Amino acid sequence: QLHLAESGGGLVPPGGSLRLSCAAAEDAFEHYAIGWFRQAPGKEREGISCISTNRAVTTYADSVKGRFIISSDNAKNTVYLQMNSLKPEDTAVYYCAAGGTCREEYYGLFGSWGPGTQVTVSS
């Protein structure tokens, strides 16, 4: 069981950028796939990006492909989500969670959810 915590959210104008961090307290972090999810008010939670256990494979939802980049620093037990060209529809609470694989059909098995960080894209 990991203990994950997100940080880096905030208010940014359309077209701006933010970098979110997902930090784990445990060294076992490197043995988990880490996914980024978001939930906007009144909407279902959406899986938007994932990085595999060996950090060699990254996946993106169509809604963020080409704008967001997921990366990992295992020495710091941290996964990042660089978000560029932000749009108002990216406004949501962003969460990270841990799982065994980045296959989308297994997102429902992800656990160790962090408390989330709010991202608001508005002028």
What's the confidence (pLDDT) of residue 27? 85
Residue 57's alpha-carbon distances to 49, 54, 103, in angstroms, are 11, 7, 11
Q: Looking at per-residue confidence, does 51 or 105 come out higher?
A: 51
* Angle (nearest 5°) at CA 59 between 54 and 62: 175
pLDDT at 46 exceeding the cut of 90: yes
What does the pLDDT look like over 55-108, one tens digit per residue? 999 999 999 999 999 999 989 999 999 999 999 999 999 999 999 999 988 998
pLDDT at 28 exceeding the cut of 90: no
What's the confidence (pLDDT) of residue 29? 87
pLDDT at 32 exceeding the cut of 90: yes
Residue 105's alpha-carbon distances to 15, 29, 42, 99, 102, in angstroms, are 31, 21, 22, 12, 9
Rg over alpha carbons for the chain, rounded to the nearest Å, is 13
